[in-house]
Amino acid sequence: MWTEDYRPETLSAFKGSSKTVNEVKNWVEDWSRGQKQRCLLLHGPPGVGKTSLVHALANDLDRDVFETNASEARTRQDVEDKLEQAAKQMSFSGKQKLILVDEVDGMGSGDRGGTRVINRVIKETRFPIILTANDAYDSSIRSIRNACKVVELGNVHTNSVAARLRDICEEEGIEYEDGALKSIARRADGDMRSAINDLESVASAGSVTKEDVRTLGYRETERDIFEALKIVFKTTTAQTASGATDGLSEDHGEVFEWIRENVPKEYERERDVARAFDSLSKADVFRGRMMSRQDWALMKYVYSMMTVGVALAKDEKYSGWTRYGYPSRIRKMGQSKAAREKRKSIGEKIGEELHVSVSEATDMIPFLQILFEHEDWKANIVERLGLEEKEVEFIESF
């Protein structure tokens, strides 16, 4: 995972507003037991480097990080015990400590929530504590906000994202076009983690050119599909929802994947999610019939179930902003696209020679591989079928 390999180890590799970085740095350096704001709440959207910033900072200041992830800890007791100890004891190395409570908004609020513990620990701690959260106004944070210095880490600027992607390409020795990095950065919309993930999947094809970015299915017009999703998810009237997908360049299969991928991201109430998937399953049934019967009159039901059906699945709309994700299925299809195309072109060549269908012919590829072990036969077959070098490689590594 490149996101792990390229986690910034020092602040010099961290891309972000230096004003914000210095604010956090100064707070840690100036921290004393007597001060009022005894912990710092670092909040911002996913993937902008909240966790990384704390680690890089600790590294630069030569401090040990004690880290607990609130949403991963198995029990609240677990968080309590470890945190209380960490806040009281010096570290074994004798270094100063920096305590990180990651993703506090996953802790839950009230009496049962972990923030009660944090409140107690804040009073006793001998070391600065940094809390991170996506949502600074989450209910579990309310009770600790007053004891916190609140710092926002915003979206990473597109140019900084592109610059980081360039560093990674250089490091990996991968050929790239600046325009391609820019377009990956642009669609990540400030989320460095997803930009690096996207880069990694594009680069799996060997290079990062604009063409590679396109074959993976990233389109410049993608903004439109995000608009469509917003309409479907935020509206509660059939009339508005039914126009959501008008004019999209994506076909019904792609639109389906986009909506399917993002329903659970937007809808929170289980009943809404269930109803939305029920509609999607009906859209899928109509889609199957439409394709098998080639009966395009059914298209309107496919779209209605996807748009109106999903829109009306919720009792009321969800407020707030959702980061919609790229459908994992389309991503996988994109990655295997080159392979599928080679397979098809080989199939066509065999099919023509042997007078069989392409699908029958592709079934023969493993046999060709065996025949290829014999150099003479290989040469003969390659010439007779007119196979290109890439196709030969494909057969041999099949």
Question: Which range in 42-50, 201-209, 331-339, 351-359 contacts Mg ion by CB under 5 A?
Answer: 42-50
Nearer to ligand ADP, 53 or 117 (CB): 53
Which residues form the interface with ligand ADP (CB under 6 A)? 3-4, 6-8, 14-16, 46-52, 156, 164, 192-193, 196
**DSSP code of residue 138:** -
Tell me which residue of 155, 189, 158, 203 sits closest to 326, measured CA to CA: 189
Least CB distance to ligand ADP at residue 80 (A): 23
Count residues contacting Mg ion (CB under 5 A)?
2
If residue 78 lies in a helix (H) or strand (E), which one and from where to where? Answer: helix 76-88
3-state secondary structure of 43: strand
Least CB distance to ligand ADP at residue 52 (A): 3
Residue 14 partner contact from Mg ion, ligand ADP, none using kind-dependent CB cut-offs of 5 to 8 Å: ligand ADP
Record the tokens describing residue 197, joined without a space: 């993930």
CA distance 394 to 225: 35
Least CB distance to ligand ADP at residue 390 (A): 33
Nearer to Mg ion, 45 or 347 (CB): 45
Contact in structure between 135 and 154 (CB atoms under 8 Å): no
**Nearest residue by C-beta to Mg ion?**
51
Nearer to ligand ADP, 46 or 179 (CB): 46
Q: Which of residues 48-67 bind Mg ion (CB under 5 A)?
A: 50-51
Nearer to ligand ADP, 197 or 279 (CB): 197
Cα-to-chain-centroid distance, residue 136? 21
Residues facing 97 on adjacent strands: 64
**Nearest residue by C-beta to ligand ADP?**
49
Least CB distance to ligand ADP at residue 44 (A): 6
Cα dihedral 334, 340, 341, 344, rounded to 10, equals -160
Buried b (16+ CB within 10 A) or exposed e, 77-87: eebbeebeebb
Nearer to ligand ADP, 152 or 388 (CB): 152
Least CB distance to ligand ADP at residue 135 (A): 12
Residue 38 partner contact from ligand ADP, Mg ion, none using kind-dependent CB cut-offs of 5 to 8 Å: none
Concatenate the DSSP letters of all residues of 363-385 into one string.
TTHHHHHHHTTSHHHHHHHHHHH
* Site residues, Mg ion (CB under 5 A): 50-51
